[in-house]
Structures are given as structure tokens and as C-alpha cells.
Amino acid sequence: MNRVLIGSAAALILQACATQSEPPRAEAPKPAATTTAAAEPKPWPAGLPADALYDPNAKNGTIFYVPTTDTATLKQADHPRDLSRWLTRSHLDTRGVPPPVKKTLDGPLNGNPEEGKKIAMNTGAGNCWACHALPGDAQPGNQGPSLIDFAKRGMSDEEVYQTIYDRRSVNPMTAMPPFGALGTLSDQQVRDIAAFLQSLK
């Protein structure tokens, strides 16, 4: 465990150093030409491996390809989000992920349950409902426990906040994304979801 922690700390330092210096660009592919006239070509993101489907000058950077019937080429399409800052499945990726963290709740929860609901029940945002049953969802997920009457569990605000921020700190084998630790959601968004869950009676 100690070795892992030391390794992670070193990795974090390395990452910080990598973002500071100019990344090796020799192997970075030339971005595909875009139809919109870009004022200034943007650089390849630091740390992003060369075999990523990415075009710095595309709308959100991250792209994918669409096959079109009866053609021998691929059409480039924009991903709704720039995903370059997170670890990829590429062998060329030298980055890691942030290790588990037990985050203390700073001050009162101060979350907005209405906002939390919007994030939790949105596939493109928190997507909590993919795995958990939530009130009013006709297609409840059942990978994680039901959250229908979550407040009845009587968990403290801090426990709920910590769980959403990084469930790995409690259960290292969890499949639940560490929304706070990974920067998937902002600290305020984590608070909003916690407030939403604490309102489910």
C-alpha cells in the first residue's frame, strides 16, 4: 500500500511536471482540416497520446468517425465533450488516475436539490440513474442500490458528499465513478447531488 501511495505521489509530481514543460510533439498527428476557419491552430493537449481521435481545432477537440454507406472513407464528427484530460486506453498513454481520497466536507453542504436532480438524472452529466433507481425514472438502473427513499438511511451530509466525491475511499472495488476526485463534476455539483439525495424521503 505504501509503495502504491509513494508511486502515486510521484506520478502526480511527474504529471504536474509534464503539464508544465512542452510535450513531445514529434509523434503527434496533424489535425485534420476543419471546415470552420480557425483563427490560430491550437496545440495538441499535453499528455494526450498520439493515437487519440482528437483534433485540437474541432469544436470540442475530441472527435469520432462515422462510416457512410457506399464510401471508402470516414466522416469526422464532433464529440459533445472534450475528453482529452482523462486517461485513455492507449498503450502510449503515460498518465494515471488520481488515487482514492477521503474528502472532508468543507463547511455546511449548501447544495441545491433542484440542481442536483438535473445533474443526477441526465445521461450527459452525472448519469446517476444509469445504475441507481431514482424517483420518476421509468427505466430504473439496478447495478447500484436504489436511491428512491435515500434520506431514510440517515447518512450524514459528509458521508453522502464523500461517497459521491470518491466512493473508492470506502470501497476500493467499487464501479462507481469518483466524480469529485476525477474532476468529472465540480465540488458544487457534488454538493447539489448530495442535497438532492438527502431530500428523497
Check: CB of residue 49 under 8 Å from CB of residue 27: no
C-alpha cell at 119: 445533474
**Range 116-145, binding other proteins (CB under 8 A):** 127, 129-131, 137, 139-143
Q: Which of 38, 77, 37 is nearest to 54 (CA)?
A: 77
Nearer to other proteins by C-beta: 129 or 161? 129
81 forms part of the interface with other proteins (CB under 8 A): yes
15 scored as a contact of other proteins (CB under 8 A): yes
Which residues, listed in sequence order, are joined to residue 66 by a DSSP beta bridge? 75
Residue 62 vs 162, nearer CB to other proteins: 62
Question: From the CB of 19, what's the least distance to other proteins, in Å?
Answer: 10
Is-contact 133 146, C-beta < 8 A? yes
**C-alpha–C-alpha distance, residues 144 and 146, integer Å:** 7
**For 93, how many CA atoms within 13 A lie in the half-sphere containing its CB?**
14
Chain residues binding other proteins by CB under 8 A are 4, 6-8, 10-17, 20-21, 48-49, 51-54, 62-74, 79, 81, 83-84, 86-91, 94-99, 127, 129-131, 137, 139-143, 168, 173, 175, 177-178, 182, 184
